Amino acid sequence: MAAGEKENAANETPLPETTFFSDKSAKVFVAGHRGLVGSAILRRLVSLGFTNLLLRSRTELDLTRQSEVESFFSAERPRYAILCAAMVGGIHANSTFPADFITVNVQIQTNVIHAAYRCGSVRKLLFLGSSCIYPKLAPQPIPESALLSGPLEPTNEWYAIAKIAGIKMCQAYRIQYSWDAISAMPTNLYGPNDNFHPENSHVLPALIRRFHEAKSSGAKEVVVWGTGSPLREFLHVDDLADAVVFLMDRYSGLSHVNVGSGREVSIKELAELVKVVVGFEGELVWDSTKPDGTPRKLMDNSMLAAMGWQPKIELKEGLIETYRWYLENVGKEQ
């Protein structure tokens, strides 16, 4: 078979006769189960009745160490693997520690993907990436085909390059070994276990914390950078978890798959909504001397939608739940 024919065949790999849901006692390894994404996937699998989940903390299994990862897979022999472990951070962290971001993430991905294939027991692996894999000036909404079509956003290119390598590694193992490795690329996520750090959190958890602290201190106003005009897309992490198990059960193909809500909201609308959810009654002030960032960033969710999946959690509903989690786990300590 010629290389091109082999790639086409890999792109049309049929679903296995035994689907993901057919045996809830099968061993499922969730790498990164304590993070925002991994904890949501864990909750979803437990709610579906999966009873044999393999979970390891960083102290129990260092995914950057090849020998440890290979020993783990050889001993435990999971049937499925979901790879959401990663070193993550905001613009400041990416700019300050570029070597760490590219090295640690490539190590984790390479070790887990290779060991999962090599052990022989893993029927399917799903690798989770990020929307930052796409070019800075990608068409909007961003289709899967935009990958590698232009320069990356410089502020997070080290993380993006690592994630692109993960996608390509899954594709390479599918092409060369006919192994069922797939990739999913989520949009901006939020929900329980998010990062609410005052210096390196993303926009939505940062707004929740800022309004909560202003409410608690009796402040009369909250200042937000920019004009509020940029459009962004947000997906509740529990919706992502639902999409992950959907893809584990329904999808076997060469292309990575975007996972988004398909709904845009301006930063101004988002801030006003967070203000209402938190109950801050002061004034919202926009500092237009600060940069807005990219005017629009929306994922093209049509591939996943055509398979029959749609998000279920509305933004306000998700924000209410997220703020409740914040109060119970972060806000009470302030």
d(CA 45, CA 34): 14
- DSSP helix/strand/coil, 16: coil
Catalytic residue among 159, 173, 190, 326: 159
Identify which of 98, 156, 101 has the alpha carbon closest to the alpha carbon of residue 297: 156
Tokens of 272: 């006003």
* Integer Rg of the chain from CA: 20
One-letter identity of residue 33: H
Whole-Å CA distances, 104 to 113, 183, 250, 328: 14, 19, 31, 32
Does a cis peptide bond (omega within 30 degrees of 0) precede residue 141? Answer: yes
Q: Judge whether residue 177 has pLDDT over 50.
A: yes
pLDDT on residue 218: 96
Instruction: Domains for the chain: give ranges and CATH numbers.
Output: 3-190+234-259 (3.40.50.720), 203-233+263-297+314-333 (3.90.25.10)
Whole-Å CA distances, 256 to 97, 170, 222, 238: 27, 9, 40, 20
Whole-Å CA distances, 48 to 18, 24, 51: 17, 8, 9
Identify which of 205, 207, 189 has the alpha carbon closest to the alpha carbon of residue 86: 189
Cα dihedral 55, 57, 62, 64 in deg (nearest 10): 80
pLDDT on residue 90: 75
Q: Judge whether residue 16 has pLDDT over 60.
A: no
The residue behind tokens 């009369």 is: 220
Q: Judge whether residue 104 has pLDDT over 70.
A: yes
pLDDT on residue 292: 81
159 among known catalytic residues: yes
Give, for 221, the enclosing helix (H) or strand (E).
strand 221-225
pLDDT, tens digit, 9 for 90 and up, residues 108-148: 999 999 999 999 999 999 999 999 999 999 999 999 999 99
- DSSP helix/strand/coil, 167: helix
Model confidence at 295, pLDDT cuts 50, 70, 90, reads confident
Selected residue with higher pLDDT from 21 and 160: 160
- Mean pLDDT lowest among 7-11, 177-181, 199-203, 286-290: 7-11
Model confidence at 173, pLDDT cuts 50, 70, 90, reads very high
